[in-house]
Amino acid sequence: MRIIAVLILVVPGVIAAYGIKLMRDALFNELTAVFLHIGLQFFIGFILFAAGIGFIGGFIVHRDRKRQAVKKQIHANKR
């Protein structure tokens, strides 16, 4: 069961890492052959990065809520 959880986290991690690579290459003006414009490459890289990190974060929050490890937030300004 743990190997499935690791695989679920590794794939979005690789996608996020590739997104970082695309953004870095765009900043240093190295165009990948697939993209037609540096701006498009940076945008796709950002989307991949955000999607990968968002999936990993959502997976962790879902797992913690399932195990009841997340406590409810108490608002200080509540009257």
Q: Which two tokens stand for residue 71?
A: 């406590």
Closest CA to 27 of 13, 43, 11: 43
* Domain annotation covers residue 18: yes
pTM beyond cutoff 0.85? no
* Domain annotation covers residue 52: yes
* Domain annotation covers residue 79: no
* Domain annotation covers residue 74: no
* Domain annotation covers residue 77: no
* Domain annotation covers residue 75: no
For 50-74, what is each residue's pLDDT tens digit?
A: 999 999 999 888 888 888 877 766 6
* Domain annotation covers residue 17: yes
| CA–CA dist 14, 61 (Å, integer) | 20
With a CB cutoff of 8 Å and minimum separation 6, the contacts of 48 are: 15, 16, 18, 19, 22
Question: Is the Cα dihedral 62, 64, 69, 75 positive or negative?
Answer: negative
Residue 51 structural domain: 2-66
For 10-65, what is each residue's pLDDT tens digit?
A: 999 999 999 999 999 999 999 999 999 999 999 999 999 999 999 999 988 888 88
Q: Count of domains in the chain?
A: 1
| CA–CA dist 10, 53 (Å, integer) | 11
* Domain annotation covers residue 48: yes
